[in-house]
Structures are given as C-alpha cells and as structure tokens.
C-alpha cells in the first residue's frame, strides 16, 4: 500500500524507495529536468528539477518521497529560476539550434520552449572547444556539452566501457574521452551503446544521419517535452508489478 505527498495541491502516491521525481512522473505530474534518467541513480547536477519541500528548496530527483510532504513545483518563482538556469546553459556553450542536428530532439531546446525562455539573459561565452571526428561512425561536438554526465553513467553502468569522463573543476570542467590519445577512435564505443542514446543535447551524434528526419517531424516538434516525459515515465504494471516504459 502506497503513502502520499502533496505536489502543487495534488495528492501523489509513492512506493517505498521512490524519489519525489519518480513518484511525480509516475503519477502524471511533470517536473522539468535534464540530468535525470530513470535507468540511472539520481545525480542532481542540473538543478532544473528544484522544488520547494515544506518551504525549502531541493532537487526532486534526489529527494526521497515521504508521507505528508508539501511540495511546490509549478510556481512562477521556481520557473523563473529554471529559465535562468536554461539561459546560463545556452550562454555557457555553443548552442546554435538552426544548424544543430539535434534540433527538435534536444531536451535543452525543448525546455527553453516549455519554460518560455524568450531572451538570451546573459552574454554568450562562445567557448572554443574541439570537435572530435576521429571515429568512423560517431561525431563528438564538445561545444554543446552541459555536463549532465548521462553519457559517463551510461558508458560505465550499462555499457561497461567507461568511454567518457569529466576533468577539471569549476569553469574548466569538461567532458573527456578515456583514451591515451584523447580521441574517440581509440575507444571501443559502438553505435549500439547506451551512451549513444542518452545525450540530451547534440554532443554525441551518429555520422551520415544528419537531418534525415525533417524539422517538423522530430520528437519535440509536435508535442512539448512535458507531455513526452509523462508518456515515457516508468509506471508499475498492474499485472506483474514490474516497471513499464522508460525515458530515452
């Protein structure tokens, strides 16, 4: 039997061990997020999922669900903070949506639309980061990395290859390839790896695919990210008690 907490006034059931984020999505309540993925341990790096729990802010992806919690998410105060975070991510990297192969499938872009980000907000840094085209089938564009670590976790926890990692601290923190040469071609990554599927922006791209799906027919072109996330949220199967459907 599940307990419940309140999210924006709605009663949300949860099972033991679930986080606020997991319970909310399973119950059909969207909380914006970038670094959360249902197949990995919560990470809490992007802070887009910040909510107020009994008046105090916390990341909903790492906050354990507890009975009786009073949680706010869909407020102008919190959405204004989320817009600022999205603006900062756009300003810190090189995100030129019209020329990016990930446009229409990009979570950062989709969150910008969903949160109604209308202005740049900050002076763009235009960093000069490398593009690694050494692999015959995969392109890496480090200019778009938002340090979510999804590829790091996927390569380690699912693929068992540890292809990616992070180096540096603070403003110098950046994605690296775990090869002596630093080149993707000198790793054992493959197109079928989980690490190829989880990047929320346009860092890890298969070659010779490009704009094969036209703009207007992509993941977030017709339905917003909030609707897609709820469609993909894991839910308990009534027949088996198992988990169904996972986010990409």
Sequential pLDDT tens for the chain (248 residues): 569 999 999 999 999 999 999 999 999 999 999 999 988 888 888 999 999 999 999 999 999 999 999 999 999 999 999 999 999 999 999 999 988 999 999 999 999 999 999 988 999 999 999 999 999 999 999 999 999 999 999 999 999 999 999 999 988 999 999 999 999 999 999 999 999 999 999 999 999 998 888 888 999 998 899 999 998 887 654 443 444 444 44
- Structurally, at CATH architecture level, domain 97-206 sits in 2-Layer Sandwich (3.30)
Are the C-beta atoms of 8 and 71 separated by less than 8 Å? Answer: yes
Q: What is the number of other CB atoms lying within 10 angstroms of the CB of residue 135?
A: 19
Residue spans of alpha helices (H) in 124-239:
150-153, 225-232
Report the b/e string of 189-212 with b at 16+ CB within 10 A. Answer: beeebbbbebbbbbbbbeeeeeee
Residue spans of alpha helices (H) in the chain:
20-26, 76-92, 107-114, 150-153, 225-232
The confidence score (pLDDT) of residue 245 equals: 43
Fold adopted by 3-74 = Ubiquitin-like (UB roll) (3.10.20)
The pTM of the full predicted model, rounded to 2 decimals, is 0.90
- Token reading at 115: 């949160």
Domain residue ranges of the chain, discontinuous segments joined by +: 3-74, 97-206
Q: How far, in Å, CA of 125 to CA of 133, rounded?
A: 23
How open is the CA angle 211-213-214, to the nearest 5 degrees? 80
Q: How far apart are the first and last CA of the chain?
A: 29
What is the sign of the dihedral through the CA atoms of 88, 89, 95 and 100?
A: negative
- Token reading at 92: 């810190």
Backbone angles phi, psi at 88, to 5 degrees: -65, -40
Q: How far, in Å, CA of 137 to CA of 184, rounded?
A: 10
């Amino acid at each position: 039997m599940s307990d419940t907490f309140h999210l924006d006034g709605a009663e949300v059931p949860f099972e033991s061990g679930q986080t606020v984020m997991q319970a909310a999505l399973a119950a059909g309540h969207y909380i914006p997020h970038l670094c959360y993925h249902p197949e990995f341990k919560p990470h809490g790096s992007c802070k887009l999922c910040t909510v107020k729990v009994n008046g105090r802010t916390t990341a909903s992806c790492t906050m354990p669900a507890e009975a009786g919690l009073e949680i706010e998410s869909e407020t102008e105060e919190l959405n204004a903070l989320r817009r600022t975070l999205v603006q900062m991510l756009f300003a810190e990297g090189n995100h030129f949506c019209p020329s990016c192969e990930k446009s229409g499938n990009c979570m950062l872009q989709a969150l910008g639309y969903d949160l109604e980000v209308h202005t740049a907000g900050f002076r763009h840094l235009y960093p000069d980061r490398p593009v690694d085209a050494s692999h015959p089938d995969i392109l890496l564009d480090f200019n778009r990395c938002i340090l979510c670590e999804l590829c790091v976790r996927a390569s380690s926890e699912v693929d068992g290859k540890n292809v990616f990692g992070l180096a540096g601290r603070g403003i110098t923190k950046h994605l690296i390839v775990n090869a002596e040469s630093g080149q993707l071609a000198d790793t054992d990554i493959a197109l079928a790896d989980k690490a190829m599927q989880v990047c929320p922006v346009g860092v890890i791209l298969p070659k010779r695919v490009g704009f094969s799906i036209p703009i207007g027919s992509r993941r977030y072109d017709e339905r917003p990210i909030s609707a897609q996330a709820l469609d993909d949220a894991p839910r308990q199967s009534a027949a088996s008690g198992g988990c169904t459907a996972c986010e990409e």
